[in-house]
Chains A and B, each alone.
Chain A
Amino acid sequence: MFTQRRNLIFLFFGIVGALFIGKLFFLQVIDDTYEKAADNNAIRKIIQIPFRGEVYDRFGKLIVYNTPVYDLYMIPRKAVVKDTNHFCRVFRVTKEYFIKTTQRARAYSRVKPSLFLKHLSKEDFASVQDAMVDFPGFFFETNAFRTYQSHSFSNALGYVAEISPAALTDQKDDYYRQGDYVGISGIESFYEETLRGQRGVKYRMVNSNGVEKGDYKNGSLNINPVSGNNLYTSIDLAIQEYADSLMQHKVGSIVAIEPSTGEILAMVSAPSYDASQLTGNNFSKYYQQLALDPMKPLLNRPPSAYYRPGSTFKLVQALVGQQLGFIGPGTVFSHAGAPVKCHGHGPVDLRGAIRVSCNPYFYHAFRKMIYDNTTGDTYERSAKGLQRWADLVANFGFGRKLGVDLGNEKKGILPNTEYYNSVYKGEKMWKFSNIYSISIGEGEIVVSPLKMANLAAIIANRGWYIPPHVVKGVGLQKSIDPFYKTPVKVGVDAKYFNVVIDGMEDAVTHGTVEADGRIPDIKMVGKTGTSQNQKGKDHSIFIAFAPRDNPKIAIAVFVENAGFGGSAAAPIASLVVEKYLKRKVDRKAVETKFMNMNYLPNVYSVTRKKAAPDSTKK
């Protein structure tokens, strides 16, 4: 009886079974949203930020290191604060801050930790330790911020700050996340990838209450953080600090280079700022103040500021003129026919022209270089001649980046044919008479202090330089990019340098350099420059190297609105050179005079006129 019903019943069972298997196939094999949901549920990715690399000077003195700080986190679900007033007193926060932050943390997640208070110092951390038992749900995580041994190197070092929204979206490899710290300028920016190290990732399993339950897949996916590499700079911290002290009450730059290696010994940008203020909780307040300062303390002037080189450029003219075969040590030009004036002396040869910085001499020399080609009218000849000249001058690093290992290096301007074609809106619209200003380093040519220090190094080396750089070694191996080891020839034969160096020596001993710029026991050779600018008093420029034989230091000093090059820049340069070569300065009177010299009133009168950016440009 009814035996066939067994089959019907089983058919029903089978249908249910098939339905289940179908649904399970859909859930488990076809639809992958559950897999992702599961990972979101149970796996927490924890980023571990490694210590950023430290920075040392050339003698191994620490310049920048990391100070551990403590960030306070809260887990809202576990956080029970019985006495809010007590809490606020212990952590020195306002009640409003407490309420606001707690609410934000709750809105983010009740079970995941939220940052409550950033950057507690070791001392603060120690002082709240005893009270922590009263505040369950609060815990500390270590973090670090940059600490600066010296305030004198801030501009070249750069600083570290939270990544900007723009940089966050522009990044190529998606490394940074919101709130990550990144090097903003200087070597912090240039060596960002070296300094930052390798971020670690930990995958932790968490249960439904957000409590960690061990490593996911036994930690096989975890990546340990790797500390950033240290940077060993070529900076001589003693010289750096000394040069910095000389630049107080002044606006400008000092760049000192070791000519044989291209290593930058000191790089001062004035006015500067206190880098340690740009760490931690003060950042936004202090940064605002700096960014709005008309003196532009955040600008790293040596590689980034624009000036006309003035008379210091005559050295390039002397070298290029000889190399092109238009002048020689015996070439003499009279003052006649030159629209530029001289300072009252008779006709001079090349050596003498450099000594007294004779404007007409270099006007005539430049005219010869430009016009000495046979075809075409004066317009065509100017175009041809200028291009030949500019191609050679470009070898000195003008109008292009030298490749210094700092963020924000500016190219400067080396006017060539193409440049004037665009300025005068077409070919054959200009000739020598339109451009002669550049013969004496005025007009359209624009340089940075770094380029001029490099020029001093080129002359010291008699025809070559190694690209200037701040970092001479990276990491344990102290490795360095071969770019910073390879000499670059400028295409001017060594023999042409003799007369130039002779002229520079004369300029210091009995030329344009005033007595304060002479070091009795060191044979320093140099050239003054006085850079015209429309906004105020001339900028005072001096480039030099010393000693004359076997040079150890090449230097460029720019002091804005300080007037004649021989009276301000040259004495300051001589003090730095003396300090570097003798490790002490005997000319105390000169030292005191220039440390206290204040050129700021001249600068204020410029900034008060609210003239546009830096200098130059017609």
Chain B
Amino acid sequence: MTDSNHIQGRIDWITVGFYVLFVGMGWLNIYSAVYSPDAPLAFSDPAFYESNAGKQLVWIGTSFVLIICILVIDFRFFESFALFIYLGLLLLLIAVPFLGVTINGSHSWFKFGSVTIQPAEFAKTATALLLAKYLNDPLVNLSKFPFQWKAALIIVIPMLLIIGSNETGSALVFASFLILLYREGLPGVYPALFIGGIALFVSSLLVPAWIILLVLVILAGLLVLFMPIYMQRDPKTYLRLSGAIGLIMTLALLVDWVVNNVLKEHQRNRIRVLIDPGFDPRGLGYQVTQSKIAIGSGGFWGKGFLGGTQTKFDFVPEQSTDMVFCTIGEEHGFVGVMLMIIFFLGFLWRLMYLADLQRSRFARAYGFGLVGILFFHFLVNIGMTIGLMPIMGIPLPFFSYGGSSLWSFTILLFIFLKLDSHRSDMLSR
């Protein structure tokens, strides 16, 4: 047992420094995105607190209150109550279609007075906690199928509920738990299949089927060439290889069918915009085109703080929420975005380093869950602004405007920092 007086000394100030840096930079970019050169708002002006920049200031302030709360709660609370938190979030996710309100076409928000909360944002934290708690059991061995199955269930239930409320982007975030599971012993074949599947999906959209077939046959030939002689002589080898090629080709052909028949119109178009950048630049391709124009026009050094024209004058939709990266790109140029990416990767590295220091599997698994979620947001959010990923409503952690997003990432991060500050008190069971 220890007392909370020592928290201060044990909290990882490097991580906190990254957090403060990101939130501060994010706020400056939101301020710039809503800044209007013909009518700048003063901080003393009440109207300022009606703008995104003003409201974000309020969100940042309340986040500090949340941080204090998390730091004073007993560290064992999170492990002990993980299941209750998870079930509570599931209840909210079930309730949201009935009690929620619709914002930006997504019926996934609760409204309390002027504050709107999106439970999907918090479901990630709850899932990470329960998954970590489940893995804390030393009997759980992820190389065995029954445990894999149960872990998958923990992830898939909230995911399906979120898809149900039309938040495909938020649901896809749950795929990031693969990183947690992989670190905790899931066989490498799963992430390999996942990445291979995505590669197959993308290539089947980009190139004709016969090229995929050609590549596969060449790969198989090379494989045969380098395999031991006894395998080369075994006719079963060729049967298996042909079977694998056939399976992959079937999947590749299935992709077209899925894209054309399973996906919804807007999802199909988002993918189409990705592979064909010139597709409908005024309509569906507008967001990607404008986002690329904004970032591309920043040049090497950028246009300077408040100097951007594209993000400021509403050419880029959602420029303070999901598209806040455009403002960084336009105003701070290549230098700015490069530093931002390097800092973010450094931040992730620091978190993984801390996670591996944990003595309890619970804290470690939770740490990798956190890293996975942050990385997935980073990947998709920046990827979509530069045209490498389809447009999904996924915020850039700590940078993007939005209460739910900032709160949920703050909670996610500071639970880990709280656990980390008690790492010497935790025994691995």
Footprint of B on A, CB under 8 Å? 1-3, 5-6, 9-10, 13-14, 16-17, 19-21, 23-25, 27-29, 31, 33-35, 37-39, 41-43, 205-209, 213-214, 216
Of B36, B315, B387, which contacts A41 at CB under 8 A?
Answer: B315
Q: With A13-B345, A21-B341 in contact, is A41–B334 under 8 Å at CB?
A: no
Which residues does chain B contribute within 8 Å of A29, judged by CB atoms? 299-300, 334
Report the separation of the CA atoms of residues A31 and B299 in the bound assembly, to the nearest whole angstrom: 9
Of B37, B290, B375, B386, which contacts A24 at CB under 8 A?
Answer: B386
B37 and A205 contact, CB distance less than 8 A: yes
Q: With A38-B294, A205-B37 in contact, is A6–B183 under 8 Å at CB?
A: yes
Report the separation of the CA atoms of residues A33 and B278 in the bound assembly, to the nearest whole angstrom: 14
Which residues does chain B contribute within 8 Å of A5, judged by CB atoms? 182-183
B300 and A10 contact, CB distance less than 8 A: no
Nearest CB of chain A from residue B324's CB, rounded to whole Å: 15
Nearest CB of chain A from residue B176's CB, rounded to whole Å: 11
Q: With A3-B356, A10-B348, A214-B37 in contact, is A24–B295 under 8 Å at CB?
A: yes
A24 and B334 contact, CB distance less than 8 A: yes
Q: With A2-B184, A28-B333, A41-B315 in contact, is A34–B338 under 8 Å at CB?
A: no
Report the separation of the CA atoms of residues A31 and B295 in the bound assembly, to the nearest whole angstrom: 11
- A9-B179, A28-B333, A38-B297 are known; give 18 further A-B pairs, CB within 8 A: A2-B185, A5-B183, A10-B352, A13-B375, A24-B295, A27-B292, A27-B329, A27-B386, A28-B295, A28-B298, A29-B299, A31-B296, A34-B293, A34-B295, A35-B297, A41-B290, A41-B309, A205-B37
B334 and A20 contact, CB distance less than 8 A: no
Q: Does B89 contact A (CB under 8 A)?
A: no
Report the separation of the CA atoms of residues A42 and B183 in the bound assembly, to the nearest whole angstrom: 48
Instruction: Tell me the nearest residue of chain B to A36, going by C-beta.
Output: B297
Report the separation of the CA atoms of residues A9 and B312 in the bound assembly, to the nearest whole angstrom: 37
- The B contact surface, by secondary structure, is helix
Of A6, A35, A214, which contacts B352 at CB under 8 A?
Answer: A6
B386 and A206 contact, CB distance less than 8 A: no
Report the separation of the CA atoms of residues A206 and B314 in the bound assembly, to the nearest whole angstrom: 10
Report the separation of the CA atoms of residues A34 and B387 in the bound assembly, to the nearest whole angstrom: 13
Which residues does chain A contribute within 8 Å of B337, judged by CB atoms? 21, 24, 28
Nearest CB of chain A from residue B267's CB, rounded to whole Å: 23
Q: With A207-B313, A213-B36 in contact, is A34–B292 under 8 Å at CB?
A: yes
Of B292, B293, B313, B388, which contacts A19 at CB under 8 A?
Answer: B388
Nearest CB of chain B from residue A206's CB, rounded to whole Å: 7
A206 and B313 contact, CB distance less than 8 A: yes
Report the separation of the CA atoms of residues A465 and B355 in the bound assembly, to the nearest whole angstrom: 101
Which residues does chain A contribute within 8 Å of B355, judged by CB atoms? 6
Of B38, B297, B329, B382, which contacts A213 at CB under 8 A?
Answer: B38
Which residues does chain A contribute within 8 Å of B345, judged by CB atoms? 13-14, 17
Which residues does chain B contribute within 8 Å of A27, judged by CB atoms? 292, 295-296, 329, 386
Nearest CB of chain B from residue A18's CB, rounded to whole Å: 9
Nearest CB of chain B from residue A480's CB, rounded to whole Å: 46
Nearest CB of chain B from residue A219's CB, rounded to whole Å: 11
Q: Does B383 contact A (CB under 8 A)?
A: yes
Among B182, B309, B337, B356, the most chain A Cβ lie within 10 Å of the Cβ of B309
B183 and A38 contact, CB distance less than 8 A: no
A35 and B382 contact, CB distance less than 8 A: no
Report the separation of the CA atoms of residues A16 and B375 in the bound assembly, to the nearest whole angstrom: 10
Which residues does chain B contribute within 8 Å of A3, judged by CB atoms? 356
Which residues does chain B contribute within 8 Å of A33, judged by CB atoms? 296
Instruction: Tell me the nearest residue of chain B to A43, going by C-beta.
Output: B309
Interchain Cβ contacts under 8 Å between A and B, 30 examples: A2-B183, A2-B184, A9-B371, A10-B348, A13-B348, A19-B388, A20-B383, A20-B388, A21-B338, A21-B341, A24-B295, A24-B337, A24-B386, A27-B295, A27-B329, A28-B333, A28-B334, A34-B292, A35-B297, A37-B293, A37-B296, A38-B309, A38-B310, A41-B309, A42-B310, A43-B309, A207-B312, A207-B314, A207-B315, A213-B38
Nearest CB of chain B from residue A585's CB, rounded to whole Å: 66
A9 and B313 contact, CB distance less than 8 A: no
Instruction: Tell me the nearest residue of chain B to A209, going by C-beta.
Output: B314
A6 and B356 contact, CB distance less than 8 A: yes
Nearest CB of chain A from residue B410's CB, rounded to whole Å: 22
Q: Does B349 contact A (CB under 8 A)?
A: yes
Instruction: Tell me the nearest residue of chain A to B36, going by C-beta.
Output: A213
Instruction: Tell me the nearest residue of chain B to A211, going by C-beta.
Output: B313
Q: Does B16 contact A (CB under 8 A)?
A: no
Nearest CB of chain B from residue A35's CB, rounded to whole Å: 5
Among A5, A33, A207, A209, the most chain B Cβ lie within 10 Å of the Cβ of A5
B310 and A28 contact, CB distance less than 8 A: no
Q: Does B284 contact A (CB under 8 A)?
A: no
Q: Does B198 contact A (CB under 8 A)?
A: no
A9 and B296 contact, CB distance less than 8 A: no
Nearest CB of chain B from residue A256's CB, rounded to whole Å: 59
A24 and B185 contact, CB distance less than 8 A: no
Report the separation of the CA atoms of residues A13 and B298 in the bound assembly, to the nearest whole angstrom: 25
B296 and A34 contact, CB distance less than 8 A: yes
Nearest CB of chain B from residue A591's CB, rounded to whole Å: 67
Report the separation of the CA atoms of residues A38 and B329 in the bound assembly, to the nearest whole angstrom: 13
Instruction: Tell me the nearest residue of chain A to B348, going by C-beta.
Output: A13
